[in-house]
Amino acid sequence: MEGEINKACGLDIHKHFVIVTILSRSGEKQLQRFDRDDDGILNLKNWVTSEECDVVACESTSDFWVPIYESLIDHLPVIVGNARDMKAFTHKKTDKIDSEVIAQLALNKMIQPSRVFPKKHREFRSYVRLRLTLVRKRTDIKNEAHAILSSEMLHLGDVLTDIFGKNGRAILSGISSGKNIDQIIESLSPNVRKKAGQIREILNREISQSAAIRLQMCLNIIKHLDEEIEILEREIFNYAYRNHKHEMEILMSVPGIGELSAATLIAEIGNFKDFSSGDKLASWLGIVPNVYQSADKYHNGRITKRGSKVARWILTQIAQAASRKKNSRLKEFFNRKKKSIGYAKAIIALARKIATIIWHLITSDEMYEDETGYEKGEVQKRKIVETEIFSVDERIKIISGIFAIMGKEDREST
């Protein structure tokens, strides 16, 4: 923000209320408390605008700041600062920075603004993050199913590469529903039926009633999660291809990057041109080492791990996939690094390299070309499916259902 700031407003945002302090350069101070609801946020906006504040500042506390930011941004500048950076100025390690300190920092231009994505892009990112949460929940349930099978000494992994694939689920469903071995084998694909002898040997034992019930529950939950994840993926790809089709194609030209990883990178990074270089992007993602200097000697520590955890995770997954691509310069880079610094650090080094590569590709509007002659397959074309629009009554019904579930959980916990 250019020019001198004569009056600044600091917000200490909590889940149910907001503490607001307005400081002027003359030393005048005003403090009020507002409820964090529709009426409270409206009253906050009216008070701050009537006082003609030059700037409003707050911490990026969870997503509590979002509705307040949306109500104020059209009327005056709003700075959303990184909570860790702001706490460093007060040397407080545990207590939250109060609104007066935030206002003082804003008055003296000591808050570095965080990047705030447009509302539509934040919604897109929320789909990506919810999908990741559901995928991890599904993995937990699959691990539980593996534990049940192991306890019953049913080692299906010896004959199936994926026990939750089409054939694996047919076997699991048959076991939990009480089908005999012949019926189960008949429901399998011809390639798997060739292993009928091994399958009979594994299934030729009685499963306990408890294990059958628990296994069926796991299968039901996995099926439900699959359906919800599919809905989320449809929303993710609809937005990505409508708004970032060219960026998706550029990213998917890089070894190791598929549709989901490309969409995730776009959701978490946003506008690549916000960064002046690939190194700046890597630093923002937290995949650069901490650097310490003492007596003219530099010491590199662990990576900073600042920025988006999801972006770091997907870049690590991409790096692991790229390290296995044949005839790829990225694999050659990984192999060289692995010899000197080991596998884990080499993966992080490759992730950082990929981050700088995709920044260059996006900002220069170029497709990835591997100098070793590696050519990636044709980019998959996806059909865009129209999004279902919920009416106001349907939205109210959804919210009522959530409160009913929460109430039931509270009663059960007591």
Tens digits of per-residue pLDDT, 70-83?
A: 999 999 999 998 87
Percent of the chain with pLDDT over 70: 88
Lowest mean pLDDT among 79-83, 374-378, 385-389, 410-414: 374-378
The two structure tokens encoding residue 350? 């490759």
DSSP letter assigned to residue 158: G
H-helix segments, 73-165: 83-90, 99-107, 119-151
- Could you read off the pLDDT of 48-59 as tens digits, one per residue? 999 989 999 998
Beta-sheet pairing, 17-24 with 29-35:
antiparallel
pLDDT at 19 over 50: yes
186 touches 205 (CB < 8 A)? no
HSE toward the beta carbon, residue 344, CA cutoff 13 A: 2
Can you name the residues that pair with 57 across neighbouring β-strands?
A: 10, 79
Q: Which two tokens mark 248?
A: 């998706």
Q: Mean pLDDT of all residues in the chain? A: 85
Return the percentage of the chain with pLDDT > 90, whole number. 49
pLDDT-derived band at 334, boundaries 50, 70, 90: very high
Output 412 or 179, whichever has higher pLDDT.
179
Query: With the CA atoms of 271, 272, 273 and 278 taken in that order, what torsion angle do they form, in degrees rounded to the nearest 10?
Result: 160
pLDDT of the residue at 321: 94
The pLDDT value given to residue 89 = 67
Res 28 pLDDT > 60: yes
Model confidence pLDDT, tens digit, residues 343-373: 999 999 999 999 999 999 999 999 998 765 4
